[in-house]
Amino acid sequence: ARADFPEGIRARLMDKDGNPRWSDKNIATVSIEKVEEHFAAPWAPEEHPLRDL
């Protein structure tokens, strides 16, 4: 969902330069909103694909 994932793939597997160009310069510049996005459910509870388990 974010550009950092393909950038990490590029740096590690494609170019093998080990020098990713992340969207944030360091961890101190990552916004709380960006962190919280990773913990938000992508669907409503009634639409969860495993709701019947």
pLDDT digits (tens, 9 = 90+) for 5-18: 999 999 999 999 99
Asked if residue 43 belongs to a domain, the reply is: yes
Q: What is the pLDDT of residue 8?
A: 94
Task: Indicate whether 53 belongs to any domain.
Answer: no
Residue 29: CB atoms within 10 Å: 10
Q: 34 lies in a domain?
A: yes
Is residue 24 in a domain? yes
Tell me the per-residue pLDDT of 31-46, one tens digit each, with 9 for 90 and over.
999 999 989 988 998 9
Let me know if residue 21 belongs to a domain: yes
Is 37 part of a structural domain of the chain? yes
Q: Is residue 9 part of a domain?
A: yes
From CA 12, how far away is CA 14, in angstroms rounded?
6
How many independent structural domains does the chain possess?
1
For a pLDDT cut of 70, what percent of the chain falls above it? 100
DSSP string spanning 30-50? --HHHHHHTTS-SS-GGG-TT
Residue 38 has phi, psi (to 5 degrees) of -75, -15
Q: What's the whole-model pTM score?
A: 0.60
Which range of residues forms the domain containing residue 39? 4-47
Residue 52 counted as domain residue: no
CB hemisphere CA count around 20 (13 angstroms): 17
pLDDT of residue 2: 80
- Looking at residues 21-27, what average pLDDT do you find? 93
